[in-house]
Amino acid sequence: MNNDHSNTDLLIIVGHFHLPGKILNIRETGEGHINDTFLVETDAGQSFILQRINHRIFCNVHGLMDNIDRVCSHINLFAKLHPEGQQLIAPQIVAESSGALFHSDENGNFWRCMTYIHHQPPKEIDVNIALEGGKAIGRFQKILSTLPGERLHETIPNFHNLNLRLEALHEAIQKDVAGRLGEVLHLTDAIQKREEEMLQLHRLESEGKIPVRVVHNDTKLNNVLFDNQGKAIALIDMDTVMNGSVLYDFGDAIRTLCNTTYEDESRLALVRFRFDLFEAFAAGYLLETKEILEPIEIEYLAFSCKLLTYIMAVRFLTDYLNGDVYFKTRSPMHNMHRASNQLRLLEGIEHDYPAMQQAIGRLANR
């Protein structure tokens, strides 16, 4: 898909959606690995998010948008029905002129428009923000535990299936289509020596021992929106909301929250694991979820932090070996740096793992 869009083209696309007032400005936000995202500002004082859906990754656009509509509507209805206390909201889909949840253009691209939730990004990530983030993701899971109707569509099949992720890595190593294997043998060795340990959750899922719930599947902290008081107010980016395990949400949140630097930082000396943020997030999360979680889910919360960090290292390295065909990259080494970063973070988690298990036990029983 071509990433170049003129303002004229974008105005034509926006014109297919029912937006109030006149369009004042459309600008690309540059956020996210997958979709092209634009902020649309109107003279009616409202802003909207316009996105071109990457349909090479999200092949079932109808199912994707049906999931998002169901989940966001349920969250917002819950907020209306339970006005007491701190609320969690979600974006609302703006229908296309035909009433459809998305617009397909003449070039075969798919576009959606959603309300923009005004928020204030935290100035710094501290224990209070971590606590709020844990509450938000826990509240999300608790609210969606009451979602009526059939199972959600599987927007990316086997998204967290580590067995298949490792098979893809093994194939990428064998084929070495981009000729990059020689540069990353130390990374492939680090991944392969941990395979048996990391597959234990996959085995439990295969045996039906891990509960299946509605989960977000992309719980990095920048998908949690905060107000100017540092309170979590919303969760966004619902593309990967599917039926799955809460462990993947918890582990991915910790993976992104507790890294002392960005996940693509190439200076590995800057990558460290922040236990204080882990403990604060876990406190907020369990405050919301400990009454709905089963013992086996609580038992594996700390392990999920190792697992999700490991999975992302596998995914980044696989994409690097395949020639960067999935994630957006800014340089030829980008995915290699991401994989190295995640493996360094994993080492930090492994070092603190006993203390993490103790903290979970204490917080779950308080």
pLDDT in tens, 10-24: 999 999 998 998 999
Q: What's the token pair of residue 249?
A: 């949400």
**By the 8 A CB rule, do 263 and 342 touch?**
yes
Mean pLDDT, the chain, as a whole number?
94
Taking alpha carbons only, the member of 247, 223, 212 closest to residue 90 is 223
Give the angle 273-279-283 at the CA atoms, nearest 5°: 150
- Which domains, from first to last, does the chain contain? 7-115 (3.30.200.20), 127-365 (3.90.1200.10)
- Taking 60 as the threshold, does the pLDDT of residue 115 lie above it? yes
Under 8 Å CB-to-CB from 333, ≥6 apart: which residues? 266
What per-residue confidence (pLDDT) applies to 2? 39
What per-residue confidence (pLDDT) applies to 31? 59
Taking alpha carbons only, the member of 69, 215, 65 closest to residue 140 is 215
CB atoms within 10 A of CB 293: 23
Residue 46 one-letter amino acid = Q
* pTM score: 0.91
Q: What's the token pair of residue 6?
A: 């003129």
- Taking 70 as the threshold, does the pLDDT of residue 119 lie above it? yes
Residue 297: Cβ-neighbour burial (10 angstroms; 0-12, 13-18, 19+): buried
